[in-house]
Amino acid sequence: MQASQQSALQGKHVAVLMTDGVEQVEYTAPRGFLEQHGVKVTLVSPKPRGEQVQGFNHLSPADRFPVELDVRDARPAEFDALVLPGGVANPDQLRLSTESITFIREFARENKPIAAICHGPWTLIDAGVVKGKRMTSWPSLREDLRNAGAEWTDEPVVVDGKLVTSRKPDDIPAFDEALLRELGQTTAAGRAA
């Protein structure tokens, strides 16, 4: 990692919105990658601060992670980007959380980077932010995304405006790099303003 890249991202703050049933590696790998680049990462959830989120390795329960911020107390203005990991149960539950969907919608309105992987893009449908967007996801979401007006494609990572999407855990390296580029562009835009 280049020191200039790390210093450029110093002070950046990324929210990861998730709940029980999250695909663990889709949380831990991007978080670790961002933190290695000097980015502060906060686990946001519709669960109260201090409660635990149950991670999964596919269908098997894995580690538990402490909630660092209740989504009811989170404001997009406090963050530079949003990460939406997958796992089937995680986005399915988030779709039922009005506060979570509002948080995502407000991120999109503020034109801040949103990175969703695997089943994570499911929540973007409820937030009303996929229409006209070129994106990818786990294959089972293809028709849901198309029905919501997205142009779905089968690629490791797709960037459309501030939206970054990927298909599966194998795509995490490309997903991480695309998110890092978006954060870097946000930094450059801030310096130019």
pLDDT band at 7 (very low <50, low <70, confident <90, very high): low
Question: pLDDT tens digit string along 29-66?
Answer: 999 999 999 999 999 999 999 999 999 999 999 999 99
pLDDT band at 186 (very low <50, low <70, confident <90, very high): low
Look at residue 68 and tell me whether its pLDDT is greater than 50. yes
Opening angle at CA 76, ends 38 and 145, nearest 5: 100
Token couple for 102: 């509002």
Q: How far is CA 143 from CA 20, 70, 77, in A?
A: 25, 31, 32
**What is the set of active-site residues?**
118
Ordered by where they begin, the domains of the chain are 3-188 (3.40.50.880)
In single-letter form, the type of residue at position 68 comes to E
pLDDT over 90 percentage in the chain: 90
pLDDT band at 191 (very low <50, low <70, confident <90, very high): very low
Enumerate residues 6+ apart whose C-beta is below 8 A from 60: none
Largest CA distance in the chain: 47
In single-letter form, the type of residue at position 88 comes to V
Token couple for 38: 């000097």
Structure pTM?
A: 0.94
Which carries the bigger pLDDT value, residue 18 or residue 184?
A: 18
What is the Rg, in whole angstroms, of the alpha carbon atoms belonging to the chain? 15
Which carries the bigger pLDDT value, residue 6 or residue 39?
A: 39
Token couple for 64: 């538990």
Sign of the Cα pseudo-torsion (127, 168, 140, 59, in order): negative
